[in-house]
Structure 1
Amino acid sequence: MTGPNLGAGAAGRAARPVQRRGLLWAVFVTVVILTALAFFAIGRLSGAPQQISDDGPDAGFARDMQVHHAQAVEMALIIRDTSTNEEIRAVAYDIATTQQHQKGQMFAWLQGWGLSQAGKGAPMAWMGAGSGDHGQSHGASAAAAPQSQMEGMATPEQMQALRAASGTEADRLFTDLMIRHHQGGVAMATAAVNLAETARVRDFAAGLVEAQSAEILALQDLRARL
């Protein structure tokens, strides 16, 4: 009887360190999770609205690119309703859905920063926010268009012409306007990559440069085939 009892006691003593290690590991994991949650909460609190300047590049980009995207969506919906070219219609649908979604993202940024959707400064003024070589990298593009009009935007007359056009004429006008519109968008996004203070805006803008540059090439190929 003594042997089995001693064996059971030894097994119990051997099991206790394993149990203690398991308990310590569980406590460690819990502490790590709680610490991570605490830092997340601190990060949310430290991201106070006043940390993003109302007239800085992040807010300026979010506002101006929303306006820029809004016109692209409008042009895309116009041609999608009038064109009989299935490729044009597919491109238009993709532009409308993608840019409408992106508009929502930028709208949410401004809300999260506690800033108004409309800025006090002139459009594209934020593109001159840098100093020295950092800000001069796109000074030429910022000066290429009046401060009252964002780069690549179609004029009211061009928008009316698109609404009135039909058939191949409408398809060609749409591609011409959208190529120019995307080129302006790439210039604005490139400025944001270089000037934005937050990684969120820089990463978003870099993705926009890549996507719209690819779309420009696709639109140019499509235009050549019309």
Structure 2
Amino acid sequence: MRQHVGWIAGTAAAVLVAAGAITYAVAEDGGAERTPSADSADAGFARDMAVHHQQAVEMSYIVRDRTKDEEIRRLAYDIAQTQANQRGMLLGWLDLWELPKVSSDAPMTWMGMGDMPSAGDGALMPGMATNTEMKKLEGLSGKQAEVFYLQLMTDHHKGGIHMAEGCVDKCTVDVEKKLAQGMVDGQQSEIDLMKDMLEERGAKPRP
């Protein structure tokens, strides 16, 4: 279990160190000729992933208050810090590009999925928890909270990977594509880790 914790801490540290370099690179290499339009994949990904990440941060802080398990608390803290940092970068790029942080377009329009049926109940994009699920998490504690959080976050990461892969394919700003690929790699590793953590608690990811 200690090697899980070490891996989590190391990954979070690496992401945080890289964040400054990526932001600097955008400022240095993202000149006016490369500024994306408001309806571009670059802007759409930045807006949608900022919303997606915000829910992951909220879920992570909820479970930190509902368990004393240090491994879960560390995982939740690291996910919250990593995704809050990435969210800040995405919103910062929208500011840098002088583009709006909200759009009248449906979520996922930049991926050609704006007409997909919404899951409803607050789940705006793939993998997002519903308002009912968030309330349920708030009402659990101990092992039950740990298992439900790991299941919700596994689904959340799968949806996030789908979106990040879309940016890798469709975005044009190199540093944003690199960040998106980093999200794919990092979140897949966390999915594998969370599967092990669920097994240790006699549970599995949701089908």
Q: TM-score range by the shorter chain?
A: 0.7 to 0.9
Structure 1 residue aligned with 2:97: 113
Distance 1:82 1:97 in 2: 18
TM-score normalised by the chain length of structure 2: 0.77
Instruction: Say which of 141, 163, 169 aligns to 2:144.
Output: 169
Distance 2:97 2:157 in 1: 27
Deviation at residue 42 of structure 1 after TM alignment: 9.7
Relative to 1, partners in 2 of residues 1:145 and 1:218: Cα closer, same or farther, differing over 3 Å?
Answer: farther
Distance 2:193 2:107 in 1: 28
Preserved CA contact (<8 Å) 1:83 1:171: yes
The share of aligned pairs that are identical, in percent, is 41
Distance 1:42 1:192 in 2: 21
Distance 1:160 1:42 in 2: 43
Secondary structure at 1:82 match in 2: coil
Preserved CA contact (<8 Å) 1:79 1:92: yes
Preserved CA contact (<8 Å) 2:106 2:115: no
Distance 2:68 2:179 in 1: 33
Distance 2:162 2:105 in 1: 19
Structure 1 unaligned segments of length 5 or more: list them.
1-40, 129-138
Structure 2 residue aligned with 1:31: none
Structure 2 unaligned segments of length 5 or more: list them.
1-26, 202-207
What are the equivalent positions in structure 2 for 1:6-17 lying under 5 Å apart? none
Structure 1 residue aligned with 2:32: 47
Structure 2 residue aligned with 1:60: 44
In terms of fraction of residues, the more helix-rich structure is: 1
Deviation at residue 145 of structure 1 after TM alignment: 5.7
Relative to 1, partners in 2 of residues 1:101 and 1:185: Cα closer, same or farther, differing over 3 Å?
Answer: same
Deviation at residue 68 of structure 1 after TM alignment: 0.4
Instruction: Say which of 115, 121, 124 aligns to 2:108.
Output: 124
Instruction: Say which of 206, 219, 222 aligns to 2:194.
Output: 219
Greater than 6 Å deviation, 4+ residue runs: 41-44
Number of residue pairs aligned between Structure 1 and Structure 2: 172
Secondary structure at 1:206 match in 2: helix
Instruction: Say which of 165, 190, 213 aligns to 2:165.
Output: 190
Distance 2:54 2:33 in 1: 28
TM-score normalised by the chain length of structure 1: 0.71
Q: Which has the higher contact order (CA 8 A, sep 6+)?
A: 2
Relative to 1, partners in 2 of residues 1:85 and 1:144: Cα closer, same or farther, differing over 3 Å?
Answer: farther
Preserved CA contact (<8 Å) 1:127 1:191: yes
Structure 2 residue aligned with 1:97: 81
What are the equivalent positions in structure 2 for 1:65-84 lying under 5 Å apart? 65-84=49-68
Relative to 1, partners in 2 of residues 1:145 and 1:189: Cα closer, same or farther, differing over 3 Å?
Answer: farther
Root-mean-square deviation (CA), in Å?
Answer: 2.2
Secondary structure at 2:65 match in 1: helix
Distance 2:28 2:188 in 1: 38
Distance 1:113 1:58 in 2: 10
Query: For residues 177-207 of structure 1, what are the alpha-carbon distances to aligned partners after superposition, in whole Å with 9 as ceiling and x for unaligned?
Result: 0000000000000000000011111111001
Preserved CA contact (<8 Å) 2:66 2:141: yes
